[in-house]
Amino acid sequence: MPTLLRFARRFPALPIVIDHGAKPDIARGGTPGWRADMAALAALPNVFCKLSGLLTEAGAQTGIETIHPYADTLFELFGPDRLMWGSDWPVLTLAGDYRGWRTMAEALIPAEAHTAVFGDTARNFYCLA
């Protein structure tokens, strides 16, 4: 992530989206420095993040309690206007199913942020009508 941080700082007008929450190694208890690296990236207004891939990174620990700290961190750092949900389908099927992941993600994100995280942020980032 330090390379991405340098790149994002070098091109501040370039919109960037981090896929899969930067793939923290949830199955092994996390990636050292992940939160600090994500905080540095989130401090840049051109950097967005996808709430995706966390279920597959959790390995056998696919319960909401395992995913919750990571989703909370992403929501706290990026907020609803720079965090967008992603299905991670079809890779998701290695750990769960679309409906289950969507339901879990909805439980992890505050209800008042659902419109942004589950639609508006992606529409704005990708300039969709």
Q: How confident is the model over 4-37, as pLDDT tens digits?
A: 999 999 999 999 999 999 999 999 998 999 999 9
111, two tokens: 């209800």
Class of domain 2-125: alpha beta
* Rounded CA separation 66/46 (Å): 29
Global pTM reads 0.95
pLDDT tens readout for residues 50-99: 999 999 999 988 899 999 999 999 999 999 999 999 999 999 999 999 99
Angle among Cα 44, 57, 11 to the nearest 5 degrees reads 20
